[in-house]
Amino acid sequence: MDNEAALKQIEAWREEAGSVAILTDIDGTLAPIVPTPDMSEVSAELRELLRKLNDKYLLVAGISGRKTEDAFDLIGIEELVYFGNHGFEILRDGEVEVVPEALPYFERVQELEHRAKEELAPMGAFVEEKGITASIHYRNVPPEVGERSVEFVKAEGERLGLRVTVGRGVVEARPPVRADKGTAVRTLVEEYRPRRAMFLGDDTTDLDAFRELQALHEEGLLEEILRIGVESDEGPPEIVAEADLVVDGVGGVTNLLRALL
């Protein structure tokens, strides 16, 4: 789909807002990428846009690699739905639920996190405490420390039977259970039954959401889909290649959300 066709689709969706789900990544999409996750911030304008969209559309959900409570704190709108830890957790009615299949791996993730704090934190890597998944950030350290972080987490992940993925300045370990932004998208579509759904994302883990939207469309569960790629210097080329519409950074996302209103 070219950009012009995608923009026309957005105009049409405005008139069908009650049948539309707006699903979005947070870091790199709603909040600019920063050296460490605790510095991240969603602008007041974007929060207000999300609040208004939530009043008008069937569903607005934040799907994040962060801990679910951290994703909520970053946006701070209670009415939205939040999926955290790459689809391993969902926040409903103030309670965080973990995917039951992942719970047996909790202690192994904690062990990897503990070892990373001993081995990588002294070199400057930032070990984020996330519970059911582990994230080691190396954005603000020398390249050799980044390489060491990736090697270390891959080796420890293999030893402990965990799944390891590498993103923008971060390497992550999680239970080897199918839970990702794609499964989060499927859960929300099956539960809320939108006829149309879009996902906005900028990084490797967001491709799972793009591909799940396509699968849901092919299965007939969604009549129309839009995959919005948020272009950045560090993002994977597949984000642009697989998107129906490409926008430039957080500013482009803000303009798109304005258009949805």
| Cβ pair 196, 20 in contact under 8 A | yes
The pair of three-digit structure tokens given for residue 178, joined into one six-digit string: 């199918």
Residues ≥6 apart with Cβ < 8 Å to 94: none
Amino acid at 75: I
* CA distance readout (Å), 58 to 55, 139, 187, 189, 229: 8, 37, 15, 11, 22
Sheet strands side by side (includes 126-129)? 126-129, 134-137, 170-174, 163-167
Asked if 207 contacts 235 with a C-beta cutoff of 8 angstroms, the reply is no
CA trace torsion 88, 145, 120, 127 (10° rounding): -40
CB atoms within 10 A of CB 104: 10
Are the C-beta atoms of residues 213 and 199 closer than 8 Å to each other? yes
| Catalytic residue (one of 2, 25, 73, 202) | 25
Q: Is 73 a catalytic residue?
A: no
As annotated, the active-site residues are 25
